[in-house]
Amino acid sequence: MASVNKKSFEYDPHTLPNGENFKFHLVVSEWNKTITYSLSSAAIKTLLKAGVKEENILIWSVPGSFELIYGSKKAQKNNPNAVIAIGSIIQGQTKHFEYICQAVTHGIKDLNVKSDVPVIFCVLTDYNIDQAKARSGGKYGNKGVEAAITALKMAELVPNPKLK
Ligand code: DLZ
């Protein structure tokens, strides 16, 4: 049975891809910015730890998560090794939450289908601010770290002979 509320992302920092020759663009939403800034700063720290040069990390700001789609599309055109889309959508009292979550998920999926530059989905979709805090540097870790590691892995995606 799947476990609930358990950290499921394990990684060995010694086996992280070397990011020395990679370029990454982060597209960060201004909505719920205490959350998104905490995600982006964890992502940046992780990339730097993996050897990515500071000048090879570019940050784009967009007003809300809905704009992550357009922002990421623009970022892809600069041909980085990967784009990380960072947002925090928190449920309000209307169906807006569902529409934004769906649009952003499908929009980013479409960008991955259409372009060779991967876009990593670092968008928290939470029922309340406490859940968002718990996943952006709280008791469930920081999803920005996971997104950065995913970006590094996608940047050097090659077939894995060990799985044969
Ligand atoms: C309008 C809106 C609302 C209600 N909630 C959020 C949210 O929780 N997180 C988020 O990133 N953005 C939200 N937005 C803004 C939309 O993403 C978008 O910026 C506007 O609808 C303008 O296109």
Q: At what angle do helices 68-76 and 96-114 cross, to 10 degrees?
A: 10
Instruction: Pick the residue whose CA is nearest to atom 18 on ligand 1.
Output: 64
Q: Tell me, rounded to whole angstroms, the distance of Cα 164 from its chain centroid.
A: 30
From CA 80, how far away is CA 21, in angstroms rounded? Answer: 11
**100 CA to centre of ligand 1 in angstroms:** 7
Tell me: pLDDT of 12 over 80: no
Which CATH architecture is the domain 45-83+98-155 placed in?
Answer: 3-Layer(aba) Sandwich (3.40)
Looking at ligand 1, which atom is closest to the CA of residue 123?
A: 11
Residues 6+ positions from 47 with CB-CB distance below 8 Å: 19, 24, 57, 148, 151, 152
33-76: pLDDT as tens digits: 999 999 999 999 999 999 999 999 999 999 999 999 999 999 99
| Ligand 1-lining residues (CB < 6 angstroms) | 29, 31-32, 63-67, 87-90, 92, 96, 100
Looking at ligand 1, which atom is closest to the CA of residue 32?
A: 9
H/E stretch holding 70 reads helix 68-76
Residues 6+ positions from 66 with CB-CB distance below 8 Å: 100, 103, 104
pTM of the model: 0.93
